[in-house]
Structure 1
Amino acid sequence: MKKRNFRLIFMTILIFIMTTALTFAQEVDVAAQNAAKFGIWTLVPPIVAISLAFITKNVIVSLVLGIMSGGFILNIMGNNPFMAIFYSFLDLIQRAVNSLADPWNAGIILQVLAIGGVINLVGKMGGAKAIAEALSKRAKSAKSAQIITWVAGLLVFFDDYANSLIIGPMMRPVTDKMKISRERLAFIIDATAAPVAGIAIISTWIGLEVGLIGSAFDSIGVDANPFGVFLSTIPFRFYNILILGFIVITALLLKDFGPMRKAELECRKGSSNISSNEDANKELSKHDDMEPLPGVKLSIWNAIIPIGALIVGALFAFYYSGYTTIMGGEDSAVIQIMKNSPASFDAIKEAFSNADASVALFQSALFAGIVAMVMGAFKKIFTLSEALDIWVDGMKTLVITGVILICAWSLSSVIKELGTAKYLIQLLSGALPPFILPSLIFVLGAIISFATGTSYGTMGILMPLAIPLSYSINPEMSYIIVATSAVLTGAIFGDHCSPISDTTILSSMGAGCNHIDHVRTQMPYSIFVAVITIVFGYIPAGFGLPVYLVLPLAFVAMFIGIQIFGKSVEVEDINGKEVLDN
């Protein structure tokens, strides 16, 4: 009897092991099998998404149809085309539901919405406007006015829309007084909007970026902390960093080139600097959700305290999240570090690298929202009931971000199941030199983003392809990080100079500048910095040159380029005296 029981137990265990192994193998090989089965058809979903984004200029429609095209391919076998379309629609819904059901994804969506609520509260309390006005009072010359505008753009780091809507109207009277062209003001606003928000550790962008990074790493089976990867990409976000440096260098040298120099010279000579585009001003008022409530006494503390609560809360939330993860794990060496010296640099580094960014950021955003509500109610700016309405209203502005995220995750899911990345790897891994991939990703991201006017959608389309492809070419994390940064940076470059980008439009409106004039004068600057980004940034980084050498090299190259192409915007008056702003 005992022998029989032993045999039964043995056979049960054996069958379980074999079944588990077969199931695991099937899950692992589904993408490879589909890549072999469908071949070039696996490229259809991203191609559909990209092509329709060019045609329709609507990223959500493009992503949805891209997802459905993948579902159609997966369901066409054994079904007629009409049933395949029906099943692809059901597949779309299921993938969207699965995306939201994932705790990480749900946390990302919640923190994006919560940060939107905090930003709206800060705006209605007059905090953001107070900071901009305080800075504008310090502008005493053309140089200082431009630098102050740049600093203000850095301080409004949490949202690109907020930057465009706040900085432009506040600095416009100052720059007009200092005879700085509206085109130059629009450029500074635009160049400190998406480029700053895209690399800010706490912003309305980080949820999207971290979410896409996490999904892409999951697709290649690499256990990486998405927030840690995001932090690692920041030094390699060459375009973002260089365009900020470009503003400072040209402002201090008072040198410009191309159409911008012509606009600056005309303004210095006293030509009209006022936009006659009344429609643009009307449109700006529609978008101006950051205007304080009537009768609010402006105070910089109305911004410093809530945003400070957001930052400090995030630091504590990251540490606590990482600490609990480590203490619940099995790494005895790290556990001892946390026990023996919990406040040491090593302990903090380990805690942050093990933290759940989606939960930590949501916790800190919720805490900051509560602080802002209580503060506003205490100062009698609004009641708690009104504060809740303002908070929810701020969330509404970022619902579109959540929709794009869900669509992007769903597209990533169907691309993964079809084996698109595996097919591309087979196609390109042997023929593509490793050093050129980051540059190609940057260029492709720039083209898509420029044509569509959205960096969000571009990131959602490219990230699921770029990370697996870079991993197949060179599995070293440093190389993958460079490729990842190229996706994020290329998308921002295209968005920055695209005439149909929201931030480009809002920047021209905020500056009171004709939109076409803004695009025309900004384009040469953006392209110049993009060329420096590729030649002196991503190509050397692709060869493995450390970033502490690449960035200084890129800055030197940019400075030399400005000296070669740039010319002074100083003019002489009738008596031959120079009109200088020093």
Structure 2
Amino acid sequence: MQRFLFLFLLPILAFAVDPEVAAKNAQTFGIWTLVPPIVAIVLAFITKDVILSLFIGVFSGTYLISIANNGVFTSFVKGFISIVQRIVGSMADSWNAGIILQVLCIGGVVALITKMGGTKAVALWLSKRAKTGISAQISTWVMGLFVFFDDYANALIVGPIMRPITDKFKVSREKLAFIIDATAAPIAGIAIISTWVGLEISLIKNGYELIGVTDINAFGIFVETIPYRFYNLFMLFFIVCTAFMGREFGGMLKAERRARTGELHSTKSRMVDVEDKTLEPKEGIKLQSSNAVIPLLVLIIGAFVSFYFSGLNALQGEALEKATANPFTFETFRETFGNADASVALFQSALLATIVAIFLGIYRKIFSVKEAIETWVKGWKTMIVTIVILLLAWSLSSVIKELGTSRYLVDMLSASTPKIVLPAAVFILGSFISFSTGTSYGTMGILMPLAIPLANAVGVNSGLEGDALHAYMIVNISAVLTGAIFGDHCSPISDTTILSSMGAGCNHIDHVQTQMPYALSICAVSILVGYMPVSLGLSIWLALPLGFLAVVLLVRFVGQKV
């Protein structure tokens, strides 16, 4: 039990700390190095407020460092001053600044697209092609995939637009809420262009710095984790299976059978519909799908172009000569993308998409320059919470690194933790934390720095090296990112779960109760067919088909015909 307790202790980093200082602190403080992450996690459970929890976690660490050389009361002042210095230092780092800017800018692009009515137009286009209950569910699923760039946008846009269609074909509000929720965070978490990717690649980069690797391409690692995001992929496939096979189980079966009689709601009170009216397009404006498609294509294509040239400028010597001689080969793309500065590339593409979206909106007389800028800034404001979490996570990580927490944990656990257990344990603990706190972001920030140093040490002690060790690291990183999404997906206090209920016009408790069996079932498939077999050496390209087959069998033999 003690081993599993230690498995979910940690956070992230931003400053260069002398390894000798970290090693000395780890030896000096011993088990006390665990205080900051324990404080952050325990407070997150108690208060349900990840920002307050991270702040106090940072302060406990700065106080601990200060008290070694100062008095009890003096350390309070020095600890507070140290927090300010670490936050400022985090913002001053060029990589972190790029991450902050691209997260804010993508938030602005999302707001502009919404204001222009582009996403609504695409949704209406999809809804007109729904002819049956199956096509209504699949159209909702496709719409959820289309709004891949942000989970909040997904919950607030898809529900109100698709609700009349699913109502028409007697699909229960619980099923609609489930489809919305299951295509919000799961798709945003694996999309290579989204409001999530900045946080995820930042955590990966900082986690690798904890083990002394500073030249890693975090975006490349992020892309490599996508096939290992078992819960995300299996859940997205599960929705399609239930729709086409017409089978459900648990509370959802009762809800769907009730809906077929014309009673779309349960007898409980209904949720109030929620839409962001300030971003609604003006009345009389022609809704055009191109208002969303054009800026998003610019964002995606611009990101790929930026990655290519950013990486090309970073190449030197023989690698540069090969890339110049053969600019469009797979090897060249691999080298350029592997050496690109993701934070700058994503910011550049987001800024270009912003300019295109503003120009398009003005050209089509949707809004004035002033209104466009105000909308863009409003989009930035929606991302402030993400930025605050990032800054505190970076600060907490710098404290963790200086205290030598990861070194202490690795020395204690690396020789005794079986490599097959670690990915599943990280996934489960990530799920538990995010379920209890209702936040994926905070869970990733708290847990990621543990998974990377611990996976590295456990892998090395298990005899892994080279590509095998790298693959094992990827599995554990994906376990953090996916476990955080699973717990958040079925948490009753999660903001996306609440927004999905509201967007679907569904009673919130009904949504949670009907979704929980589905989430737990896919969680079990992810662990038993995904993380554990892959940890034993099974190829990911065998694990994925087996997982999809397991999902089909689950729906076929556990589910019943509606």
TM-score relative to the length of structure 1: 0.91
- Tell me what 1:481 maps to: 474
The gaps in structure 1 that reach 5 residues or longer are 1-24, 570-582
Pairs within 5 Å for 1:43-192: 43-192=34-183
Tell me the CA shift for residue 274 of structure 1.
Answer: 7.6
Tell me the CA shift for residue 556 of structure 1.
Answer: 1.5
Moved more, 130-139 or 81-90: 81-90
Tell me the CA shift for residue 277 of structure 1.
Answer: 4.7
Matched residue type, 2:346: L
Q: Secondary structure at the match of 1:434?
A: coil
- Asked whether the equivalents of residues 231 and 526 of structure 2 are also in contact (C-alpha less than 8 Å), the reply is yes
1:373 aligns with 2:379: no
- Tell me what 2:7 maps to: none
- Tell me what 2:397 maps to: 412
The percent of aligned pairs where both chains have the same amino acid is 57
Tell me the CA shift for residue 296 of structure 1.
Answer: 2.0
Distance 1:267 1:292 in 2: 32
Which of the numbers 210, 213, 224 marks the counterpart of 1:232? 224
Tell me the CA shift for residue 544 of structure 1.
Answer: 2.1
Distance 2:122 2:339 in 1: 35
- Asked whether the equivalents of residues 453 and 499 of structure 1 are also in contact (C-alpha less than 8 Å), the reply is yes
Which of the numbers 291, 302, 306 marks the counterpart of 1:313? 302
Distance 1:511 1:288 in 2: 16
- Asked whether the equivalents of residues 170 and 264 of structure 2 are also in contact (C-alpha less than 8 Å), the reply is no
1:35 aligns with 2:23: no
Q: Secondary structure at the match of 2:452?
A: helix
Distance 1:142 1:192 in 2: 18
Q: CA distance change for structure 1 residues 31 and 495 in 2, over 3 Å: closer, same or farther? A: same
- Asked whether the equivalents of residues 166 and 290 of structure 1 are also in contact (C-alpha less than 8 Å), the reply is no
Distance 1:138 1:243 in 2: 24
Tell me the CA shift for residue 26 of structure 1.
Answer: 8.7
- Tell me what 1:361 maps to: 346
Deviation string, structure 1 residues 43-85 (Cα, Å, up to 9, x no partner):
1111111111011111100000001111111111232222212
- Tell me what 1:423 maps to: 408
- Tell me what 1:299 maps to: 288
- Tell me what 2:333 maps to: 348
Tell me the CA shift for residue 564 of structure 1.
Answer: 2.1
1:451 aligns with 2:436: yes
1:532 aligns with 2:517: no
Moved more, 200-209 or 380-389: 380-389
- Asked whether the equivalents of residues 123 and 289 of structure 1 are also in contact (C-alpha less than 8 Å), the reply is no
Tell me the CA shift for residue 86 of structure 1.
Answer: 1.5
Q: CA RMSD in A?
A: 1.4
Deviation string, structure 1 residues 499-541 (Cα, Å, up to 9, x no partner):
1111100000000000000000000000000011111111011
Distance 2:284 2:545 in 1: 48
Matched residue type, 2:517: P
Tell me the CA shift for residue 467 of structure 1.
Answer: 0.5
- Tell me what 2:553 maps to: 560
Distance 2:386 2:17 in 1: 34
Distance 1:87 1:293 in 2: 53
Q: Secondary structure at the match of 1:105?
A: helix
Tell me the CA shift for residue 279 of structure 1.
Answer: 6.0
Matched residue type, 1:299: Q
Tell me the CA shift for residue 453 of structure 1.
Answer: 0.4
Q: CA distance change for structure 1 residues 279 and 273 in 2, over 3 Å: closer, same or farther? A: closer
Pairs within 5 Å for 1:459-474: 459-474=444-459
Q: Secondary structure at the match of 1:221?
A: coil
Q: Which has the higher contact order (CA 8 A, sep 6+)?
A: 2
Distance 2:183 2:270 in 1: 25
TM-score relative to the length of structure 2: 0.94
Distance 1:50 1:296 in 2: 48
Distance 2:224 2:278 in 1: 33
Which of the numbers 494, 504, 511 marks the counterpart of 2:497? 504
Distance 1:544 1:30 in 2: 37
Structure 1's consecutive aligned runs of 4 or more residues displaced over 6 angstroms after TM superposition are none
- Tell me what 1:210 maps to: 201
Distance 2:395 2:524 in 1: 33
- Asked whether the equivalents of residues 59 and 457 of structure 1 are also in contact (C-alpha less than 8 Å), the reply is yes
- Tell me what 1:492 maps to: 485
Distance 2:278 2:419 in 1: 46
Matched residue type, 1:509: M
